[in-house]
Amino acid sequence: MTPLGAASASTGVGAPSRATTPALASVHSHPSRGAAASGAKEDPVEIRVHATHMALSDSLRDLATEKVRHATRLFGNGEQIDVEFSEERNPRLADGRYRVELTSRTAGQVVRVEAVGGDERSALDLAIDKFESRLRRLKERIIGRHRRVGEKRLNGDSNGVEEPEDNTLRIERVKRFAVKPMTPEEAALQMELLGHSFYLFLNADTDQYGVLYRRRGGTLGLIEPQ
């Protein structure tokens, strides 16, 4: 996920752009795979901690990695987790100056949470609490689904097709439209003109589909396939 706000993505710390057209923000990143560097058994959880518009200390990076790894104990392998710290330099946002966004690809699902706080650690703690809650719900849903399929098979239903739960999310409407190639900046302008909170487009630079979305701080984010 790439927040929009500076001219290009690079390692290091970038200052927010004052340009009217959003562009890619700079980040400082550090991927972690457990204790691989020390020669210990490699952690199956890949954790990437980075920061936008603020410095990221080693102690904060290590703390975030430790807390995220502990939160993911419900799922033992195959996880990719992105932790992004950011600072909103607005004196009116003293209680919510720091933001933590956490995105995980777990059990074939994308789990995303965000939280704000007066300091980096407060925001991190709130985000971890939300993350653990989402993971518990995902685990319960997976276990419940497997249990229902198993019961159907024991009762002679060999096709193993599960019926939708009452609380299953349903798609009420499908909208189709022509997608033409454009740059992320052109897509951002088009989204503004339409008054949408997100926008699907074909990136002319990469020839891949992307989704622009509006973040709570007023900046834009860009979701692209790996």
Walk me through the domains of the chain, giving residue ranges and CATH numbers.
2-163 (3.30.160.100), 177-226 (3.30.505.50)
CA distances from 108 to 5, 102, 103, 115, 146 (A): 30, 16, 13, 23, 15
Mode of pairing for the β-strands spanning 42-52 and 80-87: parallel
For residues 53, 47, 58 and 1, what is the CA-based torsion angle, rounded to 10 degrees?
Answer: -10
CA distances from 187 to 20, 21, 223 (A): 14, 10, 13
Dist. CA 82–CA 117, nearest whole Å: 19
Question: Residue 130 in contact with residue 115, Cβ under 8 Å?
Answer: yes
Closest CA to 95 of 113, 109, 116, 110: 116
Sign of CA dihedral 150, 151, 155, 157: negative
Sign of CA dihedral 62, 40, 81, 22: positive
Q: So what's the pLDDT on residue 108?
A: 73
Per-residue pLDDT of the chain (226 residues), as tens digits, is 444 544 333 334 344 444 443 433 333 445 554 444 444 455 568 899 999 989 999 999 999 999 999 988 877 655 789 999 999 877 666 677 899 999 988 777 788 899 999 999 999 999 999 999 888 888 887 776 656 555 555 555 545 444 445 556 677 778 787 888 999 999 988 888 777 888 999 999 999 999 999 887 778 999 998 8
For the chain, how big is the Rg over CA atoms in Å? Answer: 20
Q: So what's the pLDDT on residue 27?
A: 38
Dist. CA 160–CA 153, nearest whole Å: 6
* Other Cβ atoms within 10 Å of 52 Cβ, number: 23
Q: Which two tokens stand for residue 27?
A: 């980040």
Any idea which residue has 């009116």 for tokens?
A: 92
Question: Residue 2 in contact with residue 25, Cβ under 8 Å?
Answer: yes
Beta-strand (E) ranges in the chain?
2-4, 28-34, 42-52, 80-87, 98-106, 109-117, 181-182, 198-203, 208-214, 220-223
CA 92 to mean position of chain CA atoms: 26
Helices 120-154, 58-71: crossing angle, 10 deg rounding: 20
